[in-house]
Amino acid sequence: MKYNPNEIEAKWQKYWADNQTFAAVNNSDKPKHYVLDMFPYPSGAGLHVGHPLGYIASDVYSRFKRHQGFNVLHPMGYDSFGLPAEQYAIQTGQRPEDTTRVNIDGGVDKEGKEIAGYRKQLDKIGFSFDWAREVRTSNPDYYKHTQWIFIQLFNSWYNKEADKAEDISTLVSVFEKEGNTNVNAVSDDNIAPFSSSEWNSYSEDQKEKIILQYRLTYLAETEVNWCPGLGTVLANDEIINGVSERGGYPVIRKKMTQWSMRISAYAERLLQGLNDIDWSESIKESQRNWIGKSVGAMVKFQVSSFKSQSEETLNVKPEAKFIEVFTTRPDTIFGVTFMTLAPEHPLVAEITTPEQKAAIEGYIEKTAKRSERERMADVKTISGVFTGAYAEHPFTKEPIPVWIGDYVLAGYGTGAVMAVPCGDERDYAFANFFKGQNGMPEIKNIFANVDISEAAYGSKDNVEIANSDFLNGLNYKTATQKAIAELEKIEQGTGKTNYRLRDAVFSRQRYWGEPFPVYYVNGLPKMIDAQHLPIILPEVEKYLPTEDGLPPLGNAAVWAWDTKENKVVDTDLVDHATIFPLELNTMPGWAGSSWYWMRYMDAHNETEFASKDALAYWESVDLYIGGSEHATGHLLYSRFWNKFLKDKGFAPTEEPFKKLINQGMILGTSAFVYRVEGTNSFVSKNKIGDQSVQPIHADVSMVNSSDELDIERFKAWREDYADAEFILDDNGKYIVGREVEKMSKSKYNVVTPDDICNEYGADTLRLYEMFLGPLEQAKPWNTAGISGVFGFLKKLCRLYFDDNGLIITEEEPTKDNLKSLHKTIKKVAEDIENFSFNTSVSQFMICVNELSTQNCHSRAILEPLAIVVSSYAPHIAEELWSLLGHTTSISTVAFPVFEPNYLVESSKEYPVSFNGKMRFTIELPLDLTAAQIEEIIMKDERTQRQLDGRTPNKVIIVPGKIINLVG
- Per residue in 121-150, pLDDT (tens digit) is 999 999 999 999 999 999 999 999 999 999
In angstroms, rounded to a whole number, what is the distance separating the alpha carbons of residues 828 and 835?
A: 10
pLDDT > 90 fraction of the chain, expressed in percent and rounded: 82
Judged by average pLDDT, the poorest of 121-130, 377-386, 770-779 is: 377-386
Residue pLDDT, tens place only, 42-52: 987 789 999 99
In angstroms, rounded to a whole number, what is the distance separating the alpha carbons of residues 404 and 402?
A: 7
Q: Is 466 exposed, middle or buried (0-12, 13-18, 19+ CB in 10 A)?
A: middle
**Bridge partners, 522 (sequence order):** none
Query: What pLDDT score was predicted for residue 310?
Result: 43
CB 868 within 8 A of CB 808: no
Mean pLDDT, range 429-449, rounded to an integer? 95
**Bridge partners, 683 (sequence order):** 674, 727
Query: What pLDDT score was predicted for residue 246?
Result: 74
Confidence bin at 313 (pLDDT 50/70/90): very low
Q: Which strand (E) or helix (H) includes residue 524?
A: strand 524-527
Query: What pLDDT score was predicted for residue 318?
Result: 61
Residue pLDDT, tens place only, 68-78: 999 999 999 99
Judged by average pLDDT, the poorest of 265-269, 753-757, 888-892, 903-907 is: 903-907
Q: Which strand (E) or helix (H) includes residue 768?
A: helix 762-771
pLDDT at 296 over 70: yes
Q: Indicate left, alpha or beta for 548 from its phi (over 0: left) and psi (-120 to 50: alpha).
A: alpha
Among residues 355, 317, 354, 360, which one has the least CA distance to residue 341? 360
Query: What pLDDT score was predicted for residue 316?
Result: 46
Query: What pLDDT score was predicted for residue 237?
Result: 64
For residue 480, give the 3-state DSSP assignment: helix
Judged by average pLDDT, the poorest of 221-230, 610-619, 730-739 is: 221-230
In angstroms, rounded to a whole number, what is the distance separating the alpha carbons of residues 339 and 347?
A: 13
CB 367 within 8 A of CB 450: no
Query: What pLDDT score was predicted for residue 317?
Result: 52
Residue pLDDT, tens place only, 148-190: 999 999 999 999 999 999 999 999 999 999 999 999 999 998 8
Residue pLDDT, tens place only, 566-613: 999 999 999 999 999 999 999 999 999 999 999 999 999 999 999 999
Query: What pLDDT score was predicted for residue 705?
Result: 84
Which letter, b or e, does each residue of 713-722 get, where b requires 16 or more Cβ atoms within 10 Å of its Cβ? ebeebeeebe
Query: What pLDDT score was predicted for residue 967?
Result: 83
Judged by average pLDDT, the poorest of 147-161, 174-188, 324-338, 742-756 is: 742-756
Q: How many CA atoms lie within 13 A of 868 on its CB side?
A: 28
Question: From edge to edge, which strands make up the β-sheet containing 579-581?
Answer: 567-569, 560-562, 579-581
pLDDT at 913 over 70: yes
Confidence bin at 623 (pLDDT 50/70/90): very high
In angstroms, rounded to a whole number, what is the distance separating the alpha carbons of residues 63 and 60?
A: 5
Confidence bin at 406 (pLDDT 50/70/90): very high
Query: What pLDDT score was predicted for residue 305?
Result: 55
As a whole number, the mean pLDDT across the chain is 93
